[in-house]
């Protein structure tokens, strides 16, 4: 099986259909190259200062550099990309709202071995989510071309409904080759892993992931983005970072205060609103 590629003007509905069927899909050339250039320039110093991973899963010759929303203003338009949010909302449709899960540049250095094949939703304590409940939807934006040789992400298309198995091998996967600016969208359920880098250049991907708003975020957005920076961000992005009530009653401040009011030091109580008559299914 291969990974389906679609053009950047494909509808969210059509992309979601492929994502639900295969667990992964590539949107070709979605980010303009000047946006990727700007993110690379804003993040260069942070990436340089990032140490390699300290375990095999993180990658001992791989760097993971986070806090993109605070550090890279140019990344914010990818975090809030309307097509990505459309498809993500469709995949996570059982939840009443979604949020940012993590933001991370993954730089796989030359001679890196492949990462073990895994599911990202295992981060939630290996909770056995039913096969039709998607708690997480992910992107990896190619900041360099992704090739088989330089460590393109490896995916097992169609594996999103498979049983838990920690021993899937790289032979079952296909490399997600894509051009700089293209975006791999994949469910938190699909088996995948970073590829081995057998080239002499660094493979750079921007991992921006989302989860349902009733789960804990992998990257703590309240600590990764200092308050003085958060105060400069627009409401849409802040809400996506978690400055909103998730589900019916999660995440308010003190006297049932809207998180945005609390961030800005404003008074006022929001209350819980009315319970939905029909819970989402």
* Contacting positions for ligand AKG (CB under 6 A): 106, 115, 120, 140, 153, 192-194, 205
Our CB check for Fe ion shows the closer of 208 and 245 to be 208
Only segment of 95-103, 116-124, 198-206, 228-236 that touches Fe ion (CB under 5 A):
116-124
Of 192 and 239, the one with the shorter C-beta distance to ligand AKG is 192
Residue 81 vs 192, nearer CB to ligand AKG: 192
**CB closer to ligand AKG, 105 vs 233:** 105
**Count of residues in contact with Fe ion, rule CB under 5 A:** 1
Is residue 186 within 8 Å of 24, Cβ to Cβ? yes
Residue 120 as a binder of Fe ion (CB under 5 A): the answer is: yes
Check binding of 219 to Fe ion (CB under 5 A).
Answer: no
- Distance in Å, CB of 126 to ligand AKG, minimum: 15
* Contacts for 244-253: CB closer than 8 Å, 24+ residues apart: 244/97, 244/213, 245/270, 245/272, 246/97, 246/99, 246/212, 246/213, 246/214, 247/95, 247/96, 247/97, 247/213, 247/214, 248/96, 248/272, 248/273, 248/275, 248/276, 250/213, 250/214, 251/213
Cβ at position 113, least distance to ligand AKG in Å: 13
Give whichever of 75 and 207 is closer to Fe ion, judged by the CB atom.
Answer: 207
Measured from the CB atom, is 115 or 147 closer to ligand AKG?
A: 115
Nearest to 68 by CA among 217, 165, 206: 206
- Please state the closest distance from residue 118 (CB atom) to Fe ion, in A: 6
Task: State the binding partner of 113 from Fe ion, ligand AKG, none, CB within 5 to 8 A by kind.
Answer: none
What does the block give as tokens for 140? 């990896």
Nearest distance, CB of residue 50 and ligand AKG, angstroms: 14
Q: By rule CB under 5 A, what string of x and - marks binding of each residue 31-60 to Fe ion?
A: ------------------------------
Q: Report the partner that residue 244 touches, choosing among ligand AKG, Fe ion, none (CB closer than 5 to 8 A by kind).
A: none
Return the half-sphere exposure (C-beta side, CA atoms, 13 A cut-off) of residue 195. Answer: 25
Q: Which residues contact 2 (CB under 8 A, 6 or more apart)?
A: 157, 174
From 62, 75, 203, 78, select the one nearest 144 (Cα to Cα).
203
Distances (CA, A) of 165 to 55, 114, 185: 20, 17, 22
**218 lies in the site for Fe ion, by CB under 5 A:** no
Q: Which residues bind Fe ion (CB under 5 A)?
A: 120
């Amino acid at each position: 099986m291969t990974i389906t590629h679609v053009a950047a003007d494909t509808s969210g509905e059509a992309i979601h259909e492929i994502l639900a069927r295969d667990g992964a899909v590539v949107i070709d050339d979605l980010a303009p190259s000047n946006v990727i250039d700007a993110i690379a320039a804003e993040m260069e110093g942070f990436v340089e200062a990032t140490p390699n991973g300290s375990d095999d899963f993180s990658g001992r010759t791989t760097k993971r550099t986070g806090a993109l929303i605070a550090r890279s203003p140019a990344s914010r338009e990818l975090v809030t990309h309307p097509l990505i949010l459309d498809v993500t909302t469709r995949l996570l449709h059982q939840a009443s709202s979604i949020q940012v899960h993590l933001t991370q540049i993954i730089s796989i250095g030359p001679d890196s071995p492949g990462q073990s094949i895994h599911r990202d939703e295992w981060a939630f304590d290996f909770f056995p989510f039913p096969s039709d409940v998607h708690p997480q939807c992910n992107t990896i934006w190619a900041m360099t071309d992704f090739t088989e040789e330089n460590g393109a992400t490896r995916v097992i298309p169609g594996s999103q409904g498979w049983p838990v198995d920690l021993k899937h091998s790289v032979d079952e996967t296909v490399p997600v080759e894509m051009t700089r600016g293209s975006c791999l969208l994949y469910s938190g359920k699909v088996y995948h892993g970073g590829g081995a880098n057998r080239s002499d250049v660094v493979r750079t991907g921007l991992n921006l992931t989302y989860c349902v708003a009733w789960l804990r975020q992998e990257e703590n957005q309240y600590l990764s983005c200092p308050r003085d920076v958060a105060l400069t961000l627009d409401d849409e992005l802040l809400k996506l970072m978690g400055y909103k009530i998730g589900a019916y009653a999660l995440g308010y401040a003190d006297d049932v205060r809207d998180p945005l009011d609390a961030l800005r030091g404003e008074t006022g109580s929001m209350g819980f609103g009315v319970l939905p008559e029909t819970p989402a299914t």
